[in-house]
Amino acid sequence: MLNSLIYNRLYTWYEINHRILPWRETEDPYFIWLSEIILQQTRVAQGMEYYLRFIARWPKVEDLAAADEAEVLREWQGLGYYSRARNLHKASQMIVSSQKSQVESGEQSAYSFPKTFDEIRALPGIGDYTAGAIASFAYNLPYPAMDGNVYRVVARLLDIDEPFDTTAGKKRFHKEIELLLDRANPRLFNSAIMEFGALYCTPVLGDACETCPLNEICLGHLHNTAELLPVRKPRPKVRDRWFTYHIYVQVKKENEAYTLIQRRENPKDIWYHLYEFPYEEHADEPTTEMTNAQSPMTHIVHVLSHQKIHARFIVHRVQKMPEIPGTMLIRWDDLDDYALSRLTLRALDTMRSILPR
Ligand code: SF4
Protein backbone atom coordinates (compact mmCIF):
# COMPACT_ATOMS: atom_id res chain seq x y z
CA MET A 1 0.00 0.00 0.00
CA LEU A 2 2.70 2.45 1.08
CA ASN A 3 4.90 1.23 -1.76
CA SER A 4 2.13 1.86 -4.32
CA LEU A 5 1.78 5.39 -3.04
CA ILE A 6 5.53 5.95 -3.36
CA TYR A 7 5.54 4.52 -6.92
CA ASN A 8 2.62 6.72 -8.00
CA ARG A 9 4.12 9.91 -6.65
CA LEU A 10 7.65 9.10 -7.80
CA TYR A 11 6.65 8.09 -11.33
CA THR A 12 4.48 11.18 -11.78
CA TRP A 13 7.36 13.36 -10.67
CA TYR A 14 9.75 11.45 -12.96
CA GLU A 15 7.46 11.71 -15.99
CA ILE A 16 7.49 15.49 -15.74
CA ASN A 17 11.02 16.19 -14.54
CA HIS A 18 13.48 13.62 -15.84
CA ARG A 19 16.41 14.62 -18.04
CA ILE A 20 16.72 13.21 -21.52
CA LEU A 21 19.98 11.26 -21.35
CA PRO A 22 21.12 9.11 -24.28
CA TRP A 23 21.90 6.10 -22.10
CA ARG A 24 18.38 6.19 -20.65
CA GLU A 25 16.88 6.17 -24.16
CA THR A 26 18.47 2.85 -25.09
CA GLU A 27 18.10 -0.72 -23.92
CA ASP A 28 21.41 -1.79 -25.44
CA PRO A 29 23.32 -3.33 -22.49
CA TYR A 30 26.71 -2.48 -24.00
CA PHE A 31 25.84 1.24 -24.23
CA ILE A 32 24.32 1.19 -20.75
CA TRP A 33 27.42 -0.50 -19.38
CA LEU A 34 29.70 2.12 -20.98
CA SER A 35 27.62 4.93 -19.56
CA GLU A 36 27.54 3.43 -16.07
CA ILE A 37 31.31 2.97 -15.94
CA ILE A 38 31.97 6.44 -17.35
CA LEU A 39 29.54 8.05 -14.89
CA GLN A 40 31.12 6.51 -11.80
CA GLN A 41 32.85 9.46 -10.06
CA THR A 42 32.06 11.71 -13.06
CA ARG A 43 29.47 14.43 -13.55
CA VAL A 44 26.83 13.87 -16.24
CA ALA A 45 27.90 16.91 -18.29
CA GLN A 46 31.51 15.72 -18.45
CA GLY A 47 30.62 12.04 -18.89
CA MET A 48 28.30 12.75 -21.83
CA GLU A 49 31.16 13.83 -24.09
CA TYR A 50 33.16 10.68 -23.28
CA TYR A 51 30.13 8.42 -23.70
CA LEU A 52 29.38 9.82 -27.17
CA ARG A 53 33.02 9.47 -28.18
CA PHE A 54 33.25 5.87 -26.94
CA ILE A 55 30.09 4.68 -28.71
CA ALA A 56 31.12 6.43 -31.93
CA ARG A 57 34.61 4.93 -31.88
CA TRP A 58 33.69 1.46 -30.55
CA PRO A 59 30.00 0.91 -31.36
CA LYS A 60 30.05 -2.78 -30.41
CA VAL A 61 31.63 -4.76 -27.63
CA GLU A 62 33.90 -6.57 -30.11
CA ASP A 63 35.20 -3.21 -31.39
CA LEU A 64 36.27 -2.24 -27.89
CA ALA A 65 37.81 -5.67 -27.33
CA ALA A 66 39.90 -5.28 -30.50
CA ALA A 67 41.30 -1.88 -29.43
CA ASP A 68 44.71 -1.50 -27.79
CA GLU A 69 44.63 -0.78 -24.08
CA ALA A 70 46.73 2.34 -24.78
CA GLU A 71 44.06 3.66 -27.17
CA VAL A 72 41.33 3.12 -24.59
CA LEU A 73 43.37 4.89 -21.91
CA ARG A 74 44.06 7.71 -24.34
CA GLU A 75 40.33 8.14 -25.02
CA TRP A 76 39.71 8.05 -21.25
CA GLN A 77 42.27 10.76 -20.58
CA GLY A 78 40.97 13.47 -18.24
CA LEU A 79 38.32 11.30 -16.55
CA GLY A 80 40.63 9.94 -13.84
CA TYR A 81 40.26 6.61 -12.02
CA TYR A 82 41.92 4.85 -14.94
CA SER A 83 41.30 1.38 -13.52
CA ARG A 84 37.75 1.86 -14.83
CA ALA A 85 39.05 2.09 -18.41
CA ARG A 86 41.36 -0.88 -17.99
CA ASN A 87 38.53 -2.98 -16.57
CA LEU A 88 36.20 -1.89 -19.35
CA HIS A 89 38.71 -3.07 -21.89
CA LYS A 90 39.47 -6.31 -20.05
CA ALA A 91 35.76 -7.10 -19.63
CA SER A 92 35.08 -6.55 -23.35
CA GLN A 93 37.87 -9.01 -24.18
CA MET A 94 36.45 -11.56 -21.74
CA ILE A 95 33.00 -11.28 -23.34
CA VAL A 96 34.43 -11.72 -26.83
CA SER A 97 36.75 -14.60 -25.99
CA SER A 98 33.96 -16.51 -24.21
CA GLN A 99 31.75 -16.33 -27.34
CA LYS A 100 34.35 -16.41 -30.11
CA SER A 101 33.94 -20.08 -31.06
CA GLN A 102 30.10 -19.84 -31.19
CA VAL A 103 30.26 -16.69 -33.35
CA GLU A 104 32.90 -18.11 -35.68
CA SER A 105 31.04 -21.39 -36.11
CA GLY A 106 27.80 -19.53 -36.86
CA GLU A 107 26.09 -21.03 -33.82
CA GLN A 108 25.61 -17.48 -32.55
CA SER A 109 25.01 -14.62 -35.02
CA ALA A 110 26.75 -11.85 -33.05
CA TYR A 111 28.53 -11.11 -29.78
CA SER A 112 26.13 -10.33 -26.99
CA PHE A 113 26.43 -8.76 -23.58
CA PRO A 114 25.80 -11.11 -20.61
CA LYS A 115 22.12 -11.34 -19.75
CA THR A 116 21.89 -12.36 -16.10
CA PHE A 117 22.78 -10.39 -12.98
CA ASP A 118 25.39 -12.97 -11.90
CA GLU A 119 27.11 -13.03 -15.30
CA ILE A 120 27.19 -9.23 -15.42
CA ARG A 121 28.42 -8.98 -11.81
CA ALA A 122 31.29 -11.39 -12.62
CA LEU A 123 32.88 -8.97 -15.11
CA PRO A 124 35.86 -6.92 -13.89
CA GLY A 125 35.02 -3.45 -12.64
CA ILE A 126 31.36 -4.26 -11.99
CA GLY A 127 29.97 -4.16 -8.47
CA ASP A 128 26.44 -4.63 -7.17
CA TYR A 129 25.31 -1.17 -8.19
CA THR A 130 26.50 -1.39 -11.81
CA ALA A 131 25.23 -4.96 -12.23
CA GLY A 132 21.82 -3.89 -10.89
CA ALA A 133 21.75 -0.84 -13.16
CA ILE A 134 22.57 -2.85 -16.31
CA ALA A 135 20.24 -5.73 -15.39
CA SER A 136 17.32 -3.39 -14.75
CA PHE A 137 17.89 -0.74 -17.45
CA ALA A 138 18.72 -3.18 -20.24
CA TYR A 139 16.65 -6.25 -19.36
CA ASN A 140 14.09 -4.89 -16.84
CA LEU A 141 15.25 -7.49 -14.30
CA PRO A 142 14.17 -6.92 -10.68
CA TYR A 143 17.46 -5.77 -9.14
CA PRO A 144 17.98 -2.50 -7.28
CA ALA A 145 20.65 -0.02 -8.40
CA MET A 146 21.88 1.70 -5.26
CA ASP A 147 23.98 4.71 -6.19
CA GLY A 148 24.73 7.62 -3.86
CA ASN A 149 21.48 9.34 -4.81
CA VAL A 150 19.41 6.29 -3.94
CA TYR A 151 21.17 5.82 -0.58
CA ARG A 152 20.28 9.42 0.24
CA VAL A 153 16.61 9.10 -0.72
CA VAL A 154 16.20 5.79 1.14
CA ALA A 155 18.02 7.08 4.25
CA ARG A 156 15.69 10.08 4.36
CA LEU A 157 12.46 8.31 3.48
CA LEU A 158 13.04 5.75 6.24
CA ASP A 159 15.05 7.97 8.60
CA ILE A 160 18.05 5.62 8.75
CA ASP A 161 20.99 7.13 10.61
CA GLU A 162 23.26 4.09 10.25
CA PRO A 163 26.33 4.82 8.00
CA PHE A 164 25.50 3.52 4.54
CA ASP A 165 29.10 2.80 3.55
CA THR A 166 29.96 0.13 6.15
CA THR A 167 29.38 -3.58 5.51
CA ALA A 168 26.53 -3.68 8.03
CA GLY A 169 25.06 -0.44 6.68
CA LYS A 170 25.14 -1.68 3.09
CA LYS A 171 23.31 -4.84 4.16
CA ARG A 172 20.65 -2.83 5.95
CA PHE A 173 20.08 -0.48 3.01
CA HIS A 174 20.05 -3.39 0.58
CA LYS A 175 17.35 -5.07 2.62
CA GLU A 176 15.27 -1.89 2.65
CA ILE A 177 15.58 -1.25 -1.09
CA GLU A 178 14.66 -4.88 -1.82
CA LEU A 179 11.43 -4.24 0.10
CA LEU A 180 10.84 -0.98 -1.71
CA LEU A 181 11.72 -2.11 -5.26
CA ASP A 182 8.87 -2.17 -7.78
CA ARG A 183 9.32 -5.70 -9.10
CA ALA A 184 6.80 -5.12 -11.85
CA ASN A 185 8.72 -2.09 -13.19
CA PRO A 186 12.34 -2.26 -12.00
CA ARG A 187 13.63 -0.18 -14.94
CA LEU A 188 11.21 2.65 -14.21
CA PHE A 189 11.65 2.39 -10.44
CA ASN A 190 15.45 2.57 -10.54
CA SER A 191 15.45 5.39 -13.11
CA ALA A 192 12.91 7.39 -11.11
CA ILE A 193 14.46 7.06 -7.66
CA MET A 194 17.96 7.80 -9.00
CA GLU A 195 16.76 10.87 -10.86
CA PHE A 196 14.72 12.03 -7.88
CA GLY A 197 17.86 11.86 -5.71
CA ALA A 198 19.99 13.56 -8.37
CA LEU A 199 17.60 16.45 -9.04
CA TYR A 200 15.20 16.88 -6.14
CA CYS A 201 16.18 15.20 -2.87
CA THR A 202 19.71 16.62 -3.16
CA PRO A 203 22.35 16.90 -0.40
CA VAL A 204 21.30 20.48 0.37
CA LEU A 205 17.52 20.51 0.60
CA GLY A 206 16.62 24.18 0.95
CA ASP A 207 12.83 24.23 1.06
CA ALA A 208 12.44 21.22 -1.27
CA CYS A 209 10.64 19.17 1.41
CA GLU A 210 7.82 21.69 1.61
CA THR A 211 6.59 20.85 -1.87
CA CYS A 212 7.98 17.31 -2.16
CA PRO A 213 5.48 14.74 -3.45
CA LEU A 214 6.70 12.31 -0.77
CA ASN A 215 6.68 14.65 2.22
CA GLU A 216 3.62 13.09 3.95
CA ILE A 217 5.37 9.75 4.24
CA CYS A 218 9.04 10.75 4.43
CA LEU A 219 10.18 9.92 7.97
CA GLY A 220 13.30 12.07 7.67
CA HIS A 221 11.11 15.07 6.90
CA LEU A 222 8.54 14.22 9.55
CA HIS A 223 11.27 13.72 12.20
CA ASN A 224 13.20 16.77 11.03
CA THR A 225 16.37 14.76 10.38
CA ALA A 226 16.41 14.75 6.55
CA GLU A 227 19.16 17.35 6.18
CA LEU A 228 21.50 15.24 8.37
CA LEU A 229 21.06 12.11 6.26
CA PRO A 230 22.59 9.94 4.95
CA VAL A 231 25.38 9.30 7.44
CA ARG A 232 28.84 8.21 6.28
CA LYS A 233 31.53 6.40 8.23
CA PRO A 234 34.50 8.62 9.21
CA ARG A 235 36.78 9.23 6.22
CA PRO A 236 40.24 7.59 6.13
CA LYS A 237 43.19 9.90 6.51
CA VAL A 238 44.50 11.34 3.25
CA ARG A 239 48.13 10.39 2.56
CA ASP A 240 50.54 13.14 1.44
CA ARG A 241 53.11 12.30 -1.27
CA TRP A 242 55.85 14.48 -2.76
CA PHE A 243 57.01 14.10 -6.34
CA THR A 244 59.59 16.04 -8.34
CA TYR A 245 59.07 15.72 -12.09
CA HIS A 246 61.73 16.59 -14.64
CA ILE A 247 60.64 17.94 -17.99
CA TYR A 248 63.68 17.59 -20.25
CA VAL A 249 63.49 19.62 -23.43
CA GLN A 250 66.05 19.16 -26.18
CA VAL A 251 65.63 21.28 -29.29
CA LYS A 252 67.26 19.77 -32.35
CA LYS A 253 67.65 21.20 -35.80
CA GLU A 254 64.64 22.84 -37.45
CA ASN A 255 63.31 23.64 -34.00
CA GLU A 256 62.08 20.13 -33.40
CA ALA A 257 61.77 19.53 -29.66
CA TYR A 258 62.16 16.22 -27.86
CA THR A 259 61.42 15.08 -24.32
CA LEU A 260 61.57 12.02 -22.08
CA ILE A 261 58.52 10.23 -20.73
CA GLN A 262 57.98 7.00 -18.84
CA ARG A 263 55.06 4.70 -18.16
CA ARG A 264 53.94 3.96 -14.61
CA GLU A 265 54.28 0.24 -14.14
CA ASN A 266 53.07 -0.50 -10.62
CA PRO A 267 49.54 -1.94 -10.79
CA LYS A 268 49.04 -1.24 -7.08
CA ASP A 269 49.91 2.43 -7.33
CA ILE A 270 48.07 5.38 -8.86
CA TRP A 271 47.95 5.97 -12.64
CA TYR A 272 48.97 2.47 -13.65
CA HIS A 273 50.07 2.39 -17.32
CA LEU A 274 49.75 6.15 -17.76
CA TYR A 275 52.64 8.23 -19.01
CA GLU A 276 54.45 10.98 -17.16
CA PHE A 277 57.72 12.85 -17.19
CA PRO A 278 60.51 11.12 -15.24
CA TYR A 279 60.20 11.82 -11.54
CA GLU A 280 61.43 10.92 -8.12
CA GLU A 281 59.29 10.48 -5.05
CA HIS A 282 60.48 11.90 -1.73
CA ALA A 283 59.73 10.37 1.66
CA ASP A 284 58.96 13.82 3.02
CA GLU A 285 58.53 17.37 1.84
CA PRO A 286 61.68 18.12 -0.22
CA THR A 287 63.94 20.98 0.80
CA THR A 288 64.43 23.90 -1.55
CA GLU A 289 68.16 23.09 -2.03
CA MET A 290 67.10 20.05 -3.99
CA THR A 291 65.93 22.33 -6.76
CA ASN A 292 68.15 23.98 -9.29
CA ALA A 293 67.06 27.58 -8.86
CA GLN A 294 68.05 28.38 -12.46
CA SER A 295 65.37 26.10 -13.89
CA PRO A 296 61.77 27.15 -14.38
CA MET A 297 59.58 25.32 -11.95
CA THR A 298 55.97 25.05 -10.94
CA HIS A 299 54.22 23.53 -7.93
CA ILE A 300 50.89 21.76 -8.21
CA VAL A 301 48.86 20.16 -5.44
CA HIS A 302 46.72 17.40 -6.90
CA VAL A 303 44.07 15.84 -4.69
CA LEU A 304 42.89 12.28 -5.22
CA SER A 305 40.40 10.37 -3.08
CA HIS A 306 42.99 9.06 -0.61
CA GLN A 307 46.14 10.88 -1.57
CA LYS A 308 47.32 14.44 -1.85
CA ILE A 309 50.12 14.78 -4.38
CA HIS A 310 52.50 17.72 -3.92
CA ALA A 311 54.27 17.92 -7.24
CA ARG A 312 57.11 20.08 -8.49
CA PHE A 313 57.78 20.25 -12.21
CA ILE A 314 61.23 21.42 -13.25
CA VAL A 315 62.05 22.26 -16.85
CA HIS A 316 65.57 21.36 -18.00
CA ARG A 317 66.68 22.65 -21.38
CA VAL A 318 69.45 20.30 -22.44
CA GLN A 319 71.87 19.83 -25.34
CA LYS A 320 71.99 16.10 -24.73
CA MET A 321 69.33 13.99 -23.09
CA PRO A 322 70.34 12.27 -19.84
CA GLU A 323 70.13 8.49 -19.81
CA ILE A 324 67.36 7.55 -17.40
CA PRO A 325 66.37 3.89 -17.23
CA GLY A 326 62.73 3.19 -18.11
CA THR A 327 62.23 6.42 -20.06
CA MET A 328 61.66 6.85 -23.77
CA LEU A 329 62.61 9.70 -26.05
CA ILE A 330 59.68 11.19 -27.98
CA ARG A 331 59.01 14.22 -30.12
CA TRP A 332 57.34 16.94 -28.08
CA ASP A 333 54.53 17.14 -30.63
CA ASP A 334 53.76 13.44 -30.05
CA LEU A 335 52.94 13.91 -26.34
CA ASP A 336 49.27 14.01 -27.30
CA ASP A 337 49.47 10.41 -28.51
CA TYR A 338 50.11 9.11 -25.00
CA ALA A 339 47.62 8.68 -22.16
CA LEU A 340 48.99 11.20 -19.68
CA SER A 341 48.04 11.48 -16.03
CA ARG A 342 45.70 14.34 -15.15
CA LEU A 343 48.47 15.89 -13.07
CA THR A 344 50.79 15.91 -16.10
CA LEU A 345 48.10 17.59 -18.19
CA ARG A 346 47.64 20.23 -15.50
CA ALA A 347 51.40 20.90 -15.45
CA LEU A 348 51.54 21.21 -19.24
CA ASP A 349 48.68 23.66 -19.10
CA THR A 350 50.16 25.71 -16.26
CA MET A 351 53.62 25.89 -17.85
CA ARG A 352 52.56 26.24 -21.49
CA SER A 353 54.10 29.70 -21.88
CA ILE A 354 57.61 28.32 -21.23
CA LEU A 355 57.26 24.94 -22.99
CA PRO A 356 57.51 24.13 -26.69
CA ARG A 357 54.23 24.53 -28.56
S1 SF4 B 1 10.47 15.18 1.92
FE2 SF4 B 1 12.47 16.06 1.68
S3 SF4 B 1 13.85 14.51 2.45
FE4 SF4 B 1 11.92 13.51 2.13
S5 SF4 B 1 12.06 12.67 0.07
FE6 SF4 B 1 11.13 14.68 -0.13
S7 SF4 B 1 12.84 16.07 -0.53
FE8 SF4 B 1 13.70 14.14 0.27
The overall average pLDDT reported for the chain is 94
Which pLDDT belongs to residue 175?
A: 97
Pair (164, 312) in one structural domain = no
Pair (270, 175) in one structural domain = no
pLDDT, tens only, 15-66: 999 999 999 999 999 999 999 999 998 899 999 999 999 999 999 999 999 9
Which atom of ligand 1 is the closest one to the Cα of 209? 2
Q: Is the CB of residue 157 below 6 angstroms from any atom belonging to ligand 1?
A: yes
Under the banding of pLDDT at 50, 70 and 90, the label for residue 314 is very high
Q: At which of 228, 249, 265 does a domain end?
A: 228
Q: Is the CB of residue 83 below 6 angstroms from any atom belonging to ligand 1?
A: no
Q: Is residue 345 part of a domain?
A: yes
Q: Is residue 163 part of a domain?
A: yes
Q: Is residue 208 part of a domain?
A: yes
Pair (308, 250) in one structural domain = yes
Q: Is the CB of residue 212 below 6 angstroms from any atom belonging to ligand 1?
A: yes
Pair (123, 180) in one structural domain = yes
Q: Is residue 233 part of a domain?
A: no
**What share of the chain in percent tops pLDDT 90?**
88
Pair (179, 218) in one structural domain = yes
Q: Is residue 234 part of a domain?
A: no
Pair (198, 250) in one structural domain = no
Tell whether the model's pLDDT for residue 293 goes beyond 80. Answer: no
To test the ligand 1 pocket, which listed residue (193, 196, 210, 221) has its Cβ within 8 A of the most ligand atoms?
Answer: 221
Q: Which of 15, 25, 27, 36 is catalytic?
A: 36
Secondary structure of the chain as H, E, C letters: CHHHHHHHHHHHHHHHHCCCCHHHCCCCHHHHHHHHHHHCCCCHHHHHHHHHHHHHHCCCHHHHHHCCHHHHHHHHCCCCCCHHHHHHHHHHHHHHHHHHHHHHHCCCCCCCCCCCHHHHHCCCCCCHHHHHHHHHHHHCCCCCCCCHHHHHHHHHHHCCCCCCCCHHHHHHHHHHHHHHCCCCCHHHHHHHHHHHHHHCCCCCCCCHHHHCCCCCCCHHHHCCCHHHCCCCCCCCCCEEEEEEEEEEEEECHHHCEEEEEEECCCCCCCCCCCEECCEEEECCCCCHHHCCCCCCEEEEEEECCCEEEEEEEEEEECCCCCCCCCEEEEEHHHHHHCCECHHHHHHHHHCHHHCCC
Q: Is residue 122 part of a domain?
A: yes
Tell whether the model's pLDDT for residue 308 goes beyond 80. Answer: yes
Tell whether the model's pLDDT for residue 286 goes beyond 90. Answer: no
Pair (69, 202) in one structural domain = yes
Tell whether the model's pLDDT for residue 90 goes beyond 60. Answer: yes
Q: Which domain holds residue 197?
A: 2-228
pLDDT, tens only, 229-241: 999 998 888 999 9
Q: Is the CB of residue 86 below 6 angstroms from any atom belonging to ligand 1?
A: no
Q: Is residue 298 part of a domain?
A: yes
Residue nearest to atom 4 of ligand 1 (CA): 218
Under the banding of pLDDT at 50, 70 and 90, the label for residue 288 is low
pLDDT, tens only, 132-189: 999 999 999 999 999 999 999 999 999 999 999 999 999 999 999 999 999 999 999 9
To test the ligand 1 pocket, which listed residue (7, 14, 210, 215) has its Cβ within 8 A of the most ligand atoms?
Answer: 215
Pair (161, 279) in one structural domain = no
Pair (117, 8) in one structural domain = yes
CA of 155 to the centre of ligand 1 (A): 10
Q: Is the CB of residue 177 below 6 angstroms from any atom belonging to ligand 1?
A: no
pTM recorded for the entire structure: 0.78
Average pLDDT for residues 328-341, to the nearest whole number?
Answer: 93
Under the banding of pLDDT at 50, 70 and 90, the label for residue 253 is confident
Which atom of ligand 1 is the closest one to the Cα of 218? 4
Q: Is the CB of residue 225 below 6 angstroms from any atom belonging to ligand 1?
A: no
Which atom of ligand 1 is the closest one to the Cα of 215? 1
Average pLDDT for residues 276-304, to the nearest whole number?
Answer: 82
Average pLDDT for residues 107-117, to the nearest whole number?
Answer: 96
CA of 154 to the centre of ligand 1 (A): 10
Q: Is the CB of residue 156 below 6 angstroms from any atom belonging to ligand 1?
A: yes
> Is 36 tagged catalytic?
yes
To test the ligand 1 pocket, which listed residue (17, 157, 158, 204) has its Cβ within 8 A of the most ligand atoms?
Answer: 157
pLDDT, tens only, 257-278: 999 999 999 999 999 999 999 9
Domains held by the chain: number: 2
CA of 206 to the centre of ligand 1 (A): 11
User: Looking at residue 348, which CATH number applies to its domain?
Assistant: 3.90.79.10
Average pLDDT for residues 323-336, to the nearest whole number?
Answer: 94
Pair (263, 224) in one structural domain = no
User: Looking at residue 170, which CATH number applies to its domain?
Assistant: 1.10.340.30
Beta strands 297-303 and 307-317 are antiparallel
Average pLDDT for residues 5-10, to the nearest whole number?
Answer: 97
Pair (36, 179) in one structural domain = yes
CA of 205 to the centre of ligand 1 (A): 8
Tell whether the model's pLDDT for residue 291 goes beyond 90. Answer: no
Cβ(260)–Cβ(324) under 8 Å? yes
Minimal CA–CA distance to 338: which of 271, 267, 280? Answer: 271
pLDDT, tens only, 209-223: 999 999 999 999 999
Under the banding of pLDDT at 50, 70 and 90, the label for residue 290 is low
Residue nearest to atom 8 of ligand 1 (CA): 201
Q: Is the CB of residue 311 below 6 angstroms from any atom belonging to ligand 1?
A: no
Which pLDDT belongs to residue 161?
A: 96
Pair (297, 217) in one structural domain = no
Which pLDDT belongs to residue 292?
A: 53
Q: Is the CB of residue 152 below 6 angstroms from any atom belonging to ligand 1?
A: no
